[in-house]
Amino acid sequence: MPAYRPEEIEKKWQAHWKQHSTFQAHNHSDKPKYYVLDMFPYPSGAGLHVGHPLGYIASDIVTRFKRLKGFNVLHPMGFDSFGLPAEQYAIQTGQHPALTTDQNIETYIKQLSSLGFSYDWNREIRTSDASYYKWTQWIFLKLFNSWYNLDTNRAEALTDLTARFAERGSEGVRAAGDDGDRQVFTAGQWQLFTEHQKLAAVHSYRLAYQQDTYVNWCPGLGTVLSNDEVKDGLSERGGYPVERRLMPQWNLRITAYADRLLAGLDTLDWPDAVKEMQRNWIGRSIGAEITFPVQDHAHAQIKVYTTRVDTIYGATFLVLAPEHELVNELTTPGQRAAVDEYIAATKRRSERDRMADTKTVSGVFTGAYGLNPVNNEPVQIWLADYVLAGYGTGAVMAVPSGDQRDYLFAQHFGLPIPAISDAQQGLDQQADPTKEGRYINSGIINGLTYKEATTKLIAYLEEKGLGRGKVNFRIRDSIFGRQRYWGEPIPIYYKDGTAYGIAESDLPLVLPEISEYKPTETGEPPLGRAQNWLYRDQYPYELSTMPGWAGSSWYYLRYMDPTNEARFVSEEAEQYWGTVDLYMGGAEHATGHLLYARFWYLFLKDLGLVSSNEPFQKLINQGMILGRSNFVYRASLGWTAINASGDIVSQDHLVHPFLFVSKTAFEILTSPNSFKQDSHFEIKISEKLGVMRDNMQTRYPEYKFEVEAFGIGNNTGFTPLHVDVNFVDNDILDINAFRGWREEYNNAEFIFEDNNTYLCGVETEKMSKSKYNVVNPDVLIGKYGADALRLYEMFLGPLEQYKPWNTNGISGVGSFLKKFWRLFHPEDGDLAVTDEPATPAELKALHKAIQKAQEDIEKFSFNTSVSLFMITVNELTALKCHKRAILEPLVVLLSPYAPHLAEELWEELGHAAGSISHTPYPEFREEFLVEDNVIYPLAINGKVREQMQFAAAATAAEIETAVLASDFLARFGEGKSAKKVIVVPGRMVNVVV
């Protein structure tokens, strides 16, 4: 048998697995089920880099282990294939996004397959396939046709609500949402409503509803962006300005589920950090809603929500969001220009920027005054961008003595900061939010404690009709529309301006073909370009599409039954697979996908369509693999060109060569220590500059050139530049590859190390194309094999931690696999496995490995398993072990980590091809770890003097007799007799004299 050749073995077994559907899961089995899920990828054009497979490798190890343990395992893969990048590429090239998306997916499938992942590819889904998004649209229609009944605490059909309206009118209906947006009517009035009036009355109850909403509008991209897609007021993609704009948008009423989303977190085996992020995002608080009348505006009122109603007497001003609906009405003529300017500036900042910026104090006075409802004192009304229209009521009562942000605002604008408690301290320096002490300067609550004051004030406000106690949430309803082409069409049409859901029998509503993928010249979304795109040839469709998270909110359910044309998932399949047992993915999705998926699942639960309480029972967040960047150091050169007349001429038309210095030269030449300035590297540079000058004069004989290097002795003379790490091996630069990288580097010159190599600089940072530190797994697989890459990524460190990548280390793992191979093929010869019985030492090595490998996988501690395998192979190599009784179970142990090598050896051992995936996991037997003999330290009065070996089964009496019968006491007892012999079984013997 030839030497271990992973490139041949891996292709062989990947083809076998594909041909035989080795990893196909079945929806009916006598085995226990186990559902392993990876967060499915967006198929970008760049493909995978070595950081991407980390979680996939870990989940695949668990998947293969569970199969060996007798589980029917579902391990699917698909693609989140709608999205903005494909659309932007389509806008630039005119190519349909479906084409580039399909090409990218094929690249991903090829790369994922090359890593040997045991996916059930028969269940692959793509969110951009009409057969899939038909059901995404179907779920939307269910949301559109449902309301949330607070009395039953669940979603119910709108037909139940309208039947109730016909019988009793709107009285007594308790529904999630803002009652202030809803009409009040009797049953008789309802009966007289037109169809249009009934739909208008019902719309504000829907779980999917349309409303004017402040959004991040990006004119350059022609679409609404999520907060995650905006950074520092610019779009993350393209860097276009983003502004806040009020637009009609579809929303999903996730707020109806806020309490249930909070309570469910306590039942989940998720990282505490992720659960805490969701708790903070949901932000449940108990407080009061208070109404502030507006002076000189008889009908204007400002509602605020506060968790500290006890501080109301310290509310010396009100702050509104710049988008608040009353701003225009309240702004006085004298403040109009300043207010308009401030609002315009606010529109250029995203909500996230406004919330995160706690250092900048900005605001503008409207000129109007509110009236504090408990004492009728006038308070100024200001605008400030730290208040957001979509959070709470879009207004806050500012209590500068108790809130630091209000304190800084009041200080900045010279507003009063009165104390309200006798326990507040240091108000000349900062706010003090204490709840201790008793209230002062506080009218009806003077002298009361926090609890007493809160109870009395809420009762007073409710009695006077000025407020009420209320539970509030920070979470807002989810904006569900995007002004894009490449997304799921929203299955809505308009009749006389009223929104209707299309009939379920007309699904899917397929994306129409359009001429261009950018917004229309009149500002409509790209779907406005569709010709004759009408529902039943007469009613216009909704032109927005769904956001990227729509399809990913339920994809795990479709995997259970991906080809079902009659139902989004059959009852039998859903009940069999139930909840996802292990979900692997990034923590960055905590307040996005993970929250939305839980929301959709709870809604489907209300409809009786799913059987569990939560979609994902256990979640693991894999850490990030950081890139190992390399740098070259470019010298700053000053060139002078002189013509035949002796004049200095412009050099714009000349091509100058670059000079790069190696790392050691860079460090010495930029050192501030003057004694290093006479180094031989300076001489080398001078010599190299002479060569470069001569080359330039040869190239441009009409000129005379002078050149010098600037800044030697400080960092200004050299510029570190990222270099493609694929040109670097052990930090040594491949000069030819570098010169061929870019045209301007063709004639580059180099100052080398003393060993005539160019040594690059190194830094650990995020893996990114812009830093040229992306390592393509295809290259490493071609050089070392997929099994080596799988093992190496696990070997880097604990799964959840961030880990630096270093390609240099993978060669060690490759060597380990060759060493493993040679247990079966000594000196890379023929298979030499024997049927001889195993020795106790060999059995001990094996069973230590069985015990720890199983414990490690169950604890998701994969890096320690890789170390274990290396130690075990070293032990067996030293024992010259080539015995089937040891090596056969060892192959099974390794198979989740290095499946290709394991399959090959398993077949060589005489088993059916591809059968290792379903063989039983080796059984751990503790008796093989028991030592035959134990070495005991022997001590006199607690001081160890020597050691003696005894049989492991020896009793304390037998050990005592043997010690006293030896010459131990004579040699170390100083002539004294033994008073007592203490034997600690398995540990030590102490003779007391």
Which positions ≥6 away from 625 have C-beta within 8 Å? Answer: 50, 51, 54, 767, 793, 796, 802, 803, 804, 805
Residue found by looking up tokens 């009236």 in the block: 371
d(CA 785, CA 793): 13
Residue found by looking up tokens 């949430």 in the block: 473
d(CA 619, CA 58): 13
**Closest by Cα among 798, 790, 789, 787 to 863:** 798
d(CA 720, CA 752): 16
The answer to whether 44 and 141 have CB atoms below 8 angstroms apart is no
What long-range pairs does 814-819 form, CB within 8 A, spacing at least 24? 814/784, 814/785, 814/788, 816/791, 816/869, 816/870, 816/873, 817/4, 817/6, 817/785, 817/787, 817/788, 817/791, 817/898, 817/901, 818/3, 818/4, 819/873, 819/874, 819/877
Q: How far, CA to CA in Å, does 544 sit from each of 484, 491, 493, 661?
A: 7, 10, 11, 55
CA 689 to chain centre: 50
Which amino acid, one-letter code, is at 814? G
What secondary structure, in 3-state letters, does 788-830 show?
A: HHHHHHHHCCCCCCCEECCHHHHHHHHHHHHHHHHHHCHHHCC
What are φ and ψ of residue 720, in 5° steps? -70, 130
Which amino acid, one-letter code, is at 823? L
d(CA 415, CA 401): 11
d(CA 344, CA 244): 9
Which token pair is 813? 């793992």
Which positions ≥6 away from 733 have C-beta within 8 Å? Answer: 630, 632, 723, 727, 757, 758, 759, 760
Residue found by looking up tokens 């579902």 in the block: 74
CA 197 to chain centre: 45
d(CA 368, CA 366): 5
Which positions ≥6 away from 765 have C-beta within 8 Å? Answer: 626, 627, 629, 771, 773
d(CA 419, CA 664): 63
Instruction: Establish whether the linkage from the previous residue to 508 is cis, with ω within 30° of 0.
Output: yes
What are φ and ψ of residue 932, in 5° steps? -70, -35
Q: How far, CA to CA in Å, does 134 sit from each of 138, 141, 510, 527, 541?
A: 6, 11, 8, 18, 16
Q: How far, CA to CA in Å, does 611 sit from each of 256, 460, 509?
A: 20, 46, 28
First to last CA, the chain: 66
d(CA 116, CA 110): 10
Say if residue 605 carries a ligand binding annotation.
Answer: no
Residue found by looking up tokens 């880097």 in the block: 796
What are φ and ψ of residue 839, in 5° steps? -85, 160
Can you state the angle between helices 777-784 and 810-824, rounded to 10 degrees?
30
- Report the DSSP beta bridge partners of residue 637: 709
In a 13 Å sphere around the CA of 427, the CA atoms on its Cβ side amount to 20
d(CA 142, CA 607): 9
Residue list for the binding site: 769
Residue list for the binding site for ATP: 769
